[in-house]
Structure 1
């Protein structure tokens, strides 16, 4: 920043403004390889050779079906009820009408687990008739990544996947791992929790409907990841450890914990050893032939290890988080192969910054970073040093006109930080974002650029962005533990203070009650015994209404949906929570 400030002080502040405002209409464009890459994703049903395995490529994700002697095994279930319903229709029309005997979740991400109840009745899962297999850490990872940070991750996912794009921007947009996603909507979940588990770092052999499967934990792309090997058919179902025809998303800009590169590398090495004749991923097409599969897995392994190990080398040389992308540079030619190491989805630079935080924290080592000048105040001082708003805006306009969209966006950001309603600066930054977005073939970056432009122009309906992931109907269907986990992160200390209150929740059909306690602005919950604290009786739906903020304790009492002497305490606890669901701006802040 110092060199830019110096340059502006020397010439920018005194340089004349443009004779007229720059043309901010940016013609639509998309790199030819990005457009061509979209053609790899087709909605189709593929029979994997002469094996009993079928792959359904469908709306951003795959579902795999294994046909046994008297039933089917389904691996992953799609992102919502509508997707699962359409996929089941394809199964019945093109594969088999046999009953579904088991479900396997390869990992906890929502596009893989939210259609289960379409395929099997929940009652059949509850009574043990139909098992659902997953990794032993599945529920923990679902809670950590799908509950704790859900509001911000839901918003960021909407940007990354371009949910509000329209016209040509939407028509030509596809997600680099997965193709087009179905349009945002109600997104009703049909998730059913797993009932059978594969040990972390372990494996499990099962036989269902006469088909033998070896399930083994991998833990790379997601810590809860498992893969499946069918020894009698030489088929490897790789899940998302091969994340589709793209450079892997070693770090998701949507927001995840750091993905463990070493586990991912080891997972790929283990898969190589099976010498599979067929590999069936959960994104992208089937890969055929032992030689081709081995070459792909080897290259994938090497590109992950290169990105990870070179980042660690640079970190140890004192390269800081923001310096890493330039220091790492582009992937060398010998690691490039179209499309599996082309950065259509993941990007090495983004992964490098994630590794920095994951390994040695956010701190650069420069003590100046310990108590930085607040962002808005820093922007005010920098703009003042540059001579005020007019010369900064003029410099940003010149940068845009001269083709430096990044610098134009950075300068406009200073002005927007000071005055959120500075529409000249916002429109300029939006145009800069469009130039940057139209130029990239990385779908994650493209999504953030183009959605960010809409936000700057005031064209985003922020309140509706998260509906895809935070549908109140879906919250009502969550296990009680996940509902309570969600509100744990919504305690407002200004409201809660040092209060110490507890209530016993007796939820219809849940057996043992739950003890909910608010103490010192922390919310705790665990299975408890009636009599420890005043009791509230309610149903799962009523609890979901409370957790989502769609109903108050008083309203539920009045409606007869909640009763008990503990209702006053429960009211006090929920009054201490921030359930407003305030829309989150990512660009204007």
Structure 2
């Protein structure tokens, strides 16, 4: 049964998947835009190249990382074609420079007894030498890339066991590879500690299970998972190369960190933690290594402006708190650190670099926050603020503050949303028609499809791709099968992708173009069975309730008891008024049905919707009215798959 679940639910994203190549060259307008960008870039001082190369100890001889079945899941050399060439017309010159640094891969020494493996995934694995083994911070996204990274560590530094794992925060690229470096039996036996910030599992469930299907689909756009790396394709993610394929895994933490300044001795090494919740992740912490005078800033400071609200979707982050925590890091660790690193990108060396890097990003987030709020309080809307808000030169001319990942445009809208929500107070926007209806009316009002196409072509000839996309998006939503409109919209998206400094804006535009031309293809799916297995049962049942279809359940009332035998758990499940409530540790005195069995069978029942009779044959015990559980099961939406984004 476990194998059935695994096959049905685990992530199938592949770093090598791609649609057919239909890319067009850069237009004259795009060429002019790229040349203009090149003249406005800050002076190159060589520091980033020095820091990105410093401490290099080597990489794997074979660049292809495969899973247990021999299927490639990661290519270390995916960007070797860049070499030392000049930026092509289809890539923003600033992004080209940035990706030239991010493409580096291998094992790097940070200082005595501290190393990083970079370029083996979108994130970095940090390695600390303990008294008896390795302490690993952030074991990448997948079992396979993590195992390959540890293999490199052992090859270069000598084989040692992993004695502790630290999850810096609740995003999959910082815990998903854990089973590639340790096994759960050693954790249960007390041989390996797993340390995480408090509320880690709850926030992991919220993002990766509760909202996982929608986020996974949107992530195919953000990370360009169906694009091939190349001058007309994917150019990384702004904070790393991309998301690798392979199994996303999770072993629950054994130790929670709850306060800033908390000290822990881990395998003979003293570590100090800074809690930074509701910044880049709802549950997040930084790690300071006093003996090494090294500060790991997790993901609140990287080589790029980050996202206050990621395009893939997440809870809106608190930009003000983000700047406050960065200021706290300056005060607590600036004078005590000679090296600063993060869980993405390359490190920086020297006390002045540590303080300057933290303070510069602190000022960036504070400026973003304060100026957005100032304009908001003067009556400006999200779109109006996003159009005019730019970083001042003192902030924006620092390479690490540029928008390779997050952008001022998207982040200012997110800050507005954090305080005021999506509604801009214009009554016309309070209850507009849904996109398809609005599109049909808009196209008719403009004079029909031919008129829209003519206006769009005029806009594209002038290089106004924002307007052409706006027009053509209306046409495609009004007439999805209009081949000329789809093709032209794809061309418009593509040129905007070429011009984007943000890697993820590039990915989203180019993925939109690719789907208009070649159709939809699923990519990243965050819902691996291993992650679901590690989530507390109560949180899983809350996720199940979000799939209850009121049109199917109707006015039915149900009283069910679940007994999860292998975890010695009980759950009281009540359905009424088209709502499902579950209460852990409780039972109905007179249930309609009691279902007993191991949690894997409950996952099959509620997530895969396998027939109750079939599961009974596999060992699930159903006492009472089986029709009650079958009625609940029938009312649950199937696990969501891919859905349309660039067309209705």
TM-score, structure 2 normalization: 0.81
Structure 1 residue 459: deviation in Å?
Answer: 3.0
Q: 1:231 & 1:477 partners in 2: Cα distance?
A: 32
> Unpaired runs of 5+ in structure 1?
1-22
Alignment deviations for residues 54-101 of structure 1 (CA, whole Å, 9 cap, x no partner): 111122111111112222211111101111111221222123433222
**Residue in structure 2 matched with residue 260 of structure 1 by the alignment:** 318
Question: What's 1:522 paired with?
Answer: 579
Q: Map of 1:522-541 to 2, 5 A cutoff?
A: 522-529=579-586, 532=589, 533=591, 534-541=593-600
What residue number does 1:224 align with?
Answer: 283
Find the counterpart in structure 2 of residue 142 from structure 1: 204
Aligned to 1:470: 527
Other-structure match for 2:58: none
For 2:349 and 2:506, locate their aligned partners in 1 and report how far apart those are by CA, in whole Å: 31
Per-residue CA distance 1:95-144 (angstroms, 9 max, x = gap): 34332222111000000011222322212323444221111121222222
SS in 2 for 1:298: helix
Report the aligned-residue RMSD.
2.2
Once the two structures are superposed, residues 176-210 of structure 1 have per-residue CA deviations (whole angstroms, 9 ceiling, x without a partner) of 0112433xx4x3122111121111x5442111222
SS at match of 1:74: strand
**Residue 240 (structure 2) pairs with residue 178 (structure 1):** yes
Q: Give CA-to-partner distance per residue, 1:213-272, whole Å, 9 cap, x none.
A: 112211221121111112222111111111x31122232111111111122112211221
Structure 2 match to 1:18 = none
Q: Find the aligned partners of 1:310 and 1:437 in 2 and give their Cα distance.
A: 27
Aligned to 1:8: none
Counterparts of 1:568 and 1:196, CA distance in 2: 42
Q: Is the 8 A contact 1:59 1:180 kept in 2?
A: yes
Give the counterpart of 2:549 among 476, 488, 492. Answer: 492
Indicate if the aligned counterparts of 2:208 and 2:526 stay in contact, CA closer than 8 A: no
Measure, in 2, the Cα distance between the counterparts of 1:341 and 1:167.
24
Deviates more, 1:306-315 or 1:169-178: 169-178
Change in CA separation of 1:577 and 1:32 when aligned onto 2, cut-off 3 Å: same
| 2:319–2:415 CA contact under 8 A, matched in 1 | no
- The match for 1:3 is none
Unmatched 5+ stretches in structure 2:
1-21, 27-88
Query: Structure 1 residue 237 and structure 2 residue 296: aligned?
Result: yes
Mapping of residues 3-22 of structure 1, within 5 Å: none
1:149-228 to 2 correspondence within 5 Å? Answer: 149-166=211-228, 168=230, 172-182=234-244, 185=245, 187-199=246-258, 201-219=259-277, 220-228=279-287
Measured at CA, do residues 169 and 552 of structure 1 come closer, stay the same or move farther in structure 2, by a change above 3 Å? farther
Say which of 372, 377, 395 aligns to 2:437.
377
Who is 1:297 aligned against? 358
Q: Distance in 2 between matches of 1:258 and 1:365?
A: 20
Compared with structure 1, are the counterparts of its residues 558 and 436 closer, same or farther at alpha carbon in structure 2 (3 Å cutoff)? same
Cα distance in 2 between the residues matched to 1:420 and 1:335: 43
1:323 aligns to 2:384 (yes or no) = yes
User: What SS does the corresponding residue of 1:228 show, helix, strand or coil?
Assistant: strand
Q: Which residue of 2 aligns with 1:246?
A: 304
Which residue does the alignment assign to 1:12? Answer: none
Superposition TM-score, scaled by structure 1 size: 0.89
Q: 1:291-313: CA deviations, max 9, x gaps?
A: 11111111111011001110000
In structure 1, what is the equivalent of residue 72 of structure 2? none
Aligned to 1:549: 608
Contact 2:91–2:232, Cα closer than 8 Å, also in 1: no
Higher RCO (CA-CA < 8 Å; seq separation 6+): 2
SS at match of 2:328: helix
Residue 517 of structure 2 is aligned to residue 443 of structure 1 = no
Give the 3-state SS of the residue equivalent to 1:134 in structure 2. strand
Check conservation: 1:542, 1:562, Cα contact below 8 A: no
User: In the superposition, relative to structure 1, how do residues 137 and 475 fare at CA in structure 2: closer, same or farther (>3 Å)?
Assistant: closer
Q: CA deviation at 1:439?
A: 1.1
Q: Is the 8 A contact 1:549 1:580 kept in 2?
A: yes
For the pair 1:124 / 2:186, whether they are aligned, the reply is yes
Checking the alignment, whether the CA contact within 8 Å between 1:554 and 1:571 is kept in structure 2 is: no
When residues 566 and 69 of structure 1 are mapped into structure 2, their CA distance, relative to the original with a 3 A threshold, is farther
CA distance in 2, matches of 1:225, 1:238: 10
